[in-house]
Structure 1
Amino acid sequence: MSMPSAPQSPYQTPVSPWGTTPPAPPSKSRAPLVAAIIGGVVFLVVELLVTLALIGKELESGYPRGQFSLTVPRTLLDGRFVLEKDDSLTEGPALQRIWRHSWDAEDVHGVSAVYRPASVERGDLVVTGMYGRFKNADEVRSRVLADNASKNSRGTVLTPPEDDTPSGSRITISCEALTRTWTDGSTLTYPVCVWADGNTWARVADMTLIASRNLDLKATARSTLQIRSEMMKPIT
């Protein structure tokens, strides 16, 4: 007598008509997802680069065009001072290293020269400056004058800075009086003036005995303005 077959469990995997377990459905490809991720990253990078370019362009637009350079002429102030020494090749690079990373200066070149009176007058006229592209002329003047009172300076500020715009000019000149003592004990009080514009700035120290005796800051401001006109040269 045959035994009845065991009842089939309701949880038993149904038998495929092929006699095996049905094949699993094919897995979906991840290629579209990967492509979408890569595309999104590329889009973000491009957008970031465009934003940085626009920011750089906006910052760049704040600089004036480079139209003038500073030269070291053989004489200054209508021949009253004669070039004694041009230190631009040695002092210029040092200035450039200091100003190269400044946020308001671009394409900077340093100039430094010492002039002697053509007459029997004693003393020096020292001009130190730069040409390039500068923003915020007022701040540049203040920064250059602040160097006179820095720890590295050998001078002491005697008269606080005064701003003067000589008649017939739109250029503001900032001047102050310094006192300097040398190692031999000799002391000299002299005027220092600074101009700054979109292409140039310079510090003019009139260390002659006549300037020390008179100490006329307004007269030195006018002389500084003339020195500016004699040193500036259009860039062709």
Structure 2
Amino acid sequence: MNMPPPPQPPGPYSAPPPGQPAPGPYGVQQPWPQHPYPQQGFAQQPFPQQQGWGMPPMGPPAPQRNRTGLVIGIIAVVLVLLGGLGFAVSKLAGAAGGFPEAKYRLTVPPTLLNGQYTLAQDLSEKSQDGLKNASQADVRDPQAAAGQYSGAKGDGTSLVLSGIYGRVKAPEKQRDSMLRGGRNADGVTVAMPPRDATPAGSDVRISCQVLTKSQGAFSVTFPMCAWGDRNTVGSVGVVSPASAGQKPSDVDVDQAAELTVRVRNEVRRPIGSGSTR
């Protein structure tokens, strides 16, 4: 009689008896021990979900700050600053001697420099209100003339004219006072102190300084030039998006002085002439 072979131990790939788990290559795996505390759902974890090394938590994207908008905002602040400089021009002590005859006045024409700039707003009345309470020791019968002009290119470039006219006893002092008003404005720093320049073909001395106005991480650096004669005192400032982040050493002061002379020649008119604001 042939005897049946003895039972063999199950191999790693043998079928398990019914109702028992299949063994792995290292034997039957025991179930993972249960945690003694109930588990919370994933969304209920006490700490926010991490999204990778160094990644910020998921959420709506932070709004992007528009650089052009910031620059235009700074320009608007500078325009307010420049437009109010007429307030400071007649606060010096009186000079010796009499007052000259009034022969010239300042105008605010609709365009400047062959249409390169167009009048955006006439600031003369606002500046005139400021002159009402100012000392008139060196200026008799002062009248304000101020305006903001927009560049023809439409890139945000603006020119600001700010001045007074009347009978000016100490024109150079008044010119310096106007520049001082710019340096003392809130948030403005002096990048280059005033220096005199007499552009070719001009019979009037121009004084220019370079100022910087900051807002957050951005800044605008621009020249401001002024003149003074026995009837008119005025300043000109040009601000553009290209002024943002500009180095003071890159500002062409001589060019700014020449532009100021050209503006003066257009806005300074004999009294009684047909020019209007």
Q: TM-score with structure 1 length normalisation?
A: 0.68
The 1-side partners of 2:256 and 2:96 are apart by: 35
Q: Say which SS state the counterpart of residue 130 (structure 1) adopts.
A: strand
Deviation at 1:61, TM superposition (A): 6.0
- Mapped to 2, the partners of 1:97 and 1:203 lie a distance apart of 21
**Displaced runs of 4 or more, over 3 A:** 209-214
Task: Label 1:106 to 1:72 Cα distance change in 2 as closer, same or farther (>3 A).
Answer: same
Partner of 1:197: 229
How does the TM-score come out when normalised to structure 2?
A: 0.59
Q: What secondary structure does 1:122 align onto?
A: coil
Counterpart of 1:186 (choices 192, 204, 218) is 218
Which residue pairs with 1:82 in the alignment? Answer: 118
For residue 122 of structure 1, the aligned residue among 156, 164, 169 is: 156
* Superposition deviation, residue 102 in structure 1: 3.0
Gaps of 5+ in 1: 1-58
Q: d(CA) in 2 for partners of 1:166 and 1:225?
A: 8
Q: 1:97 aligns to what SS in structure 2?
A: coil
Flag structure 2 segments of 5+ consecutive residues without an equivalent.
1-94, 273-277
* Alignment match, 1:111: 145
Paired position in structure 2 for 1:133: 167
Name the residue aligned to 1:97: 133
Give the Å deviation of 1:79: 1.1
Residue 231, structure 1, aligned to residue 277, structure 2: no
Where do residues 146-161 of structure 1 align in structure 2 (5 Å cutoff)?
146-150=180-184, 152-161=185-194
Q: What is the identity percentage for the equivalent residue pairs of Structure 1 and Structure 2?
A: 32
Structure 2: which amino acid aligns with 1:93? D
Conserved in 2, the CA contact under 8 Å of 1:92 and 1:112?
A: no
The structure with more helix, counted as a fraction of residues: 1
Match of 1:216 in 2: 252
SS of alignment partner, residue 222 of structure 2: strand
- The match for 2:238 is 206
**Residues 68 and 153 of structure 1: CA distance in aligned 2, closer, same or farther (over 3 Å):** farther
Counterparts in 2 of 1:216 and 1:208: CA distance versus 1, 3 Å: same
- The SS at the match of 2:133 is helix
* CA shift in 2, pair 1:73/1:211, >3 Å: farther
Residue pair 1:93, 1:109 contacting (<8 A) in 2 also: no
- Measured on the aligned residues, the alpha-carbon RMSD in Å equals 2.0
Higher strand fraction: Structure 1 or Structure 2? Answer: 1
Letter in 2 for 1:63: F
